[in-house]
Chains A and B, each alone.
Chain A
């Protein structure tokens, strides 16, 4: 990116903010702590209501890492009208990481004085598809990174190792060893480096049955580390966003990576 366009990039960050107001996206595993090898099933959806389905989330970027660090078997991938679903074979003792990635390019532009946005796979096809009269176009790489964990028997760490790509959660507290009233520590890395000062929001499940969202936010320290004390048992939605002007494609103004994790907290 040219130095002269830094101001434009900063503007782009502001301009692109509305796209950040998308639905929450999440994975919801049927089981996270099990005492024998078994299949589990996972729902995934994009919705405002945690954890109630609304729109299906594409499964193209699905990957499951087993306790041996190798890909684990999935089955019955289905995209329904209101949610997507798949099964995961927890075939061996240890921890599985379930990740769903969705990289998109988003164009923001003005048309007849109104702001519009269009999602696509690459900058060129977005440019080609731009309607006549569109102006002030900005492009952003927007990656959704959905994640959750499940464990057979004792928790293990092999599947938790960071890949040093994108925005990642590195658990200091094991994600399948979370209990009400206890404090968990998680660390965020961006491209393998501490995501210092990252803002993380956390929300307990069940928004449909209460009046307030009850979400709270925490800020990562210089090491990208956060502490979360779980007020009660249940499943929690965690979201962290990282953005800068270092998009991979030269034509793209900024990049934004959203990590959206689901964590189950058990009663003691």
Chain B
């Protein structure tokens, strides 16, 4: 099962290398908060880009521990895109992350390079076993005209979530 995310992680730099030199950058810095709870499991996290009508423009990534049983708990991701997929899931997949700030760089993903111009929202959803669930949305315009960052702070399962856009 491990090879699934390994292959994606290894593939990512290749994709960046293979992409056009002008590929606009889209990266997310995400804080997994440290929680004082008796039983802690790192959250499953999903990333995708949605249109204004909430339909999915591009699935971007998924952090999970290869237990498909719990994927339905990422309720919105599951409904909007996950349930129509099977492993390997679209975008960059990887293992869950422990508390701290982690970067997910989606620059050069094929789904991004083919994304039509328009207004979108980056959606980040986190769900934690025996814990809570939280969804945050970060609006942006594509393609990127000038370098910009958008930050939203979660209240429970997510800390600061910052979207960094580079033209």
| B-binding residues in A (CB < 8 A) | 33-36, 38, 93, 153-155, 177, 179, 266-268
Contacts and interface: CB of A to CB of B under 8 A. Distances in A.
A267 B72 contact: no
B79 A177 contact: yes
Contacts of A36: 68-69, 71
Nearest to A151: B83
Contacts of A33: 72, 78, 83
Interface residues of B, number: 13
B76 interface: yes
A177 B79 CA distance: 8
A267 B73 CA distance: 11
Contacts of A155: 83
B84 A154 contact: yes
Given A35-B82, A35-B83, A153-B86, A268 B75 contact: yes
Nearest to B54: A268
A93 B82 CA distance: 13
B17 to A, nearest CB: 33
B79 A35 contact: no
Contacts of B40: none
A35 B71 contact: yes
B68 A35 contact: yes
Contacts of A154: 83-84
User: Nearest 6 A-B pairs (CB), nearest first?
Assistant: A35-B71, A35-B72, A36-B68, A154-B84, A154-B83, A35-B68
B83 A153 contact: yes
25 contacts: A33-B72, A33-B78, A33-B83, A34-B69, A34-B72, A35-B69, A35-B70, A35-B71, A35-B78, A35-B82, A36-B68, A38-B69, A93-B86, A153-B84, A153-B86, A154-B83, A154-B84, A155-B83, A177-B79, A179-B79, A266-B75, A266-B79, A267-B75, A268-B75, A268-B76
A94 to B, nearest CB: 11
A93 B68 CA distance: 13
A93 B72 CA distance: 14
A155 to B, nearest CB: 8
A265 to B, nearest CB: 12
Contacts of B75: 266-268
Contacts of B84: 153-154
Most buried by A among B70, B72, B76, B86: B72
B166 to A, nearest CB: 32
A153 B78 CA distance: 9
A34 B69 CA distance: 7
Contacts of A34: 69, 72
Nearest to B135: A268
Nearest to A38: B69
A120 B161 CA distance: 65
Contacts of B78: 33, 35
Contacts of B79: 177, 179, 266
A154 B84 CA distance: 5
B44 to A, nearest CB: 11
A149 B47 CA distance: 29
Interface string B44-70: 000000000000000000000000111
Nearest to A37: B68
